[in-house]
Amino acid sequence: MKVVIDFHIPFIADAIRSEWPGIDIFPLESEQINAEAVRNADVLIVRTRTQVNEALLSGSSVRLVCTATIGFDHIDTAYCEAHGIRWTACPGCNAQAVCNYVEEVLDEWTNNQLPMPKAPTIGVVGVGHVGSLVAKMAARRGLKVLLNDPPKNIGVSLDASEGIEPFSGGAIADCDIITFHVPLDESTHHLCSESFLSRCKPHALIINAARGGVVDEQALLRSGHPYILDTWENEPHVHTEVLQHAYRASMHIAGYSVEGKRNASQTCLDIIAQSFCLPPVTLPQMDSHGDNAPGWLERITRQLKANPEAFESLRKNYPLR
């Protein structure tokens, strides 16, 4: 049995070598994962950088694709299902890490900006694994929270039972802070559009730690709204002007934590064990050795703005929080 795995996904390769010694492991850089590399593989374990589609899988022996991420817009799920290839993502694996990222954003924003309203309102767009945690965190901090989930066509206030208008309406646009936590698909592409931004408060803060295509970056730049981006259109080739005008910016690492990576790796191992009738493997709990000190996001912003061409390198070498 052969497993091809993205080199930068931690813990899995060592666990397989230790617990399933009969399996051949081939850790590769994402750019090395091509049709030839996976031709004789049974399992493929990737990150968002690998486009898993017909071009990659046609003629291969791959039976299982695992992405160690919550999103799966880089997987052609229809192709996989039509060809009997099982696929899985890791929903919720890094939800707490993304929530912590947004809390750091709120700390930096409220500590460095002109006085906000006494009880600012935050609009949480997308109330799945991540958004629900963000909403609870924001409420705990004393913010008024509005929840909105366009894919589910839901809009509710966290502290009241009455509904609010749909995303395209006025209520969510009237928030002081708007943070996006939706998957990327046809219904959410450019959800944060020029039309939507034109209805927002002039100085409303826009946060995107979901997927790059959820926000129309050029419209955001033209709007004059302050913004904080962790995910970008056309990663890793970020638009320099959009980057330079960001209040805070990071290289798609909001979910990068030891806990999140362990959770994703554990999910992949569970699916492999289940799919191939292997004994279960449990990863140990692990401690973070990354930078959790206050102001870490400001330091990352300076680093990325000074070296936008190093986006992918900075991401690969980011010390897990």
The predicted-structure confidence for 72-91, as pLDDT tens digits, reads as follows 999 999 999 999 999 999 99
**CATH for 95-254+293-316 (3.40.50.720, 3.50.50.60, 3.90.230.10, 3.90.550.10):** 3.40.50.720
Judged against a pLDDT cut of 50, whether residue 250 lies above it is answered with yes
DSSP 29-42: -GGG--HHHHTT-S
Tell me the residue type at 52: V
DSSP 262-274: HHHHHHHHHHHHH
- CATH code of domain 2-93+257-276: 3.40.50.720
- pLDDT class of 288 with cuts at 50, 70, 90: low
Query: Mean per-residue pLDDT for 5-23?
Result: 95
| Contact between residue 310 and residue 317 where contact means Cβ atoms under 8 Å apart | no
Q: Which H helix or E strand runs over 211?
A: none
160-193 tens-digit pLDDT: 444 444 565 568 899 999 999 999 988 899 999 9
| Contact between residue 109 and residue 86 where contact means Cβ atoms under 8 Å apart | no
Percent with pLDDT over 90 in the chain: 76
Q: What is the per-residue pLDDT for 171?
A: 83
Judged against a pLDDT cut of 70, whether residue 291 lies above it is answered with no
* Residue of 49, 1, 7, 45 lying closest to 267 (CA atoms): 45
> Residue 117 has what DSSP assignment?
P
Token pair belonging to 253 = 């690492």
Query: Mean per-residue pLDDT for 258-275?
Result: 95
- pLDDT class of 294 with cuts at 50, 70, 90: confident
What are the structural domain ranges in the chain? 2-93+257-276, 95-254+293-316
Average pLDDT, the chain: 91
Q: What is the per-residue pLDDT for 320?
A: 80
Q: What is the per-residue pLDDT for 161?
A: 44
The alpha carbon dihedral of 302, 297, 242, 30 has a sign of positive
**What's the length of the chain?**
321
Strands of 24-28's sheet, edge to edge?
A: 24-28, 2-6, 43-46, 64-67, 86-88
What's the CA gap between 132 and 130, in Å, rounded?
Answer: 6
Token pair belonging to 56 = 């990659």
Higher-confidence residue of 288 and 237: namely: 237
Tell me the residue type at 70: I
- pLDDT class of 63 with cuts at 50, 70, 90: very high
Tell me the residue type at 17: R
Judged against a pLDDT cut of 70, whether residue 16 lies above it is answered with yes
Cite the active site residues: 211, 235, 252
Q: What is the per-residue pLDDT for 166?
A: 56
The domains spanning 2-93+257-276 and 95-254+293-316 adopt the same CATH topology:
yes
- pLDDT class of 115 with cuts at 50, 70, 90: low
* Residue of 159, 147, 156 lying closest to 119 (CA atoms): 159
In this prediction the pTM is 0.85
Identify the weakest region by mean pLDDT among 44-53, 97-106, 292-301. Answer: 292-301
Q: What is the per-residue pLDDT for 157?
A: 59
* CA distances from residue 299 to 189, 248, 291 in whole angstroms, order as listed: 30, 9, 10
What's the CA gap between 54 and 227, in Å, rounded?
Answer: 36
| Contact between residue 85 and residue 43 where contact means Cβ atoms under 8 Å apart | no
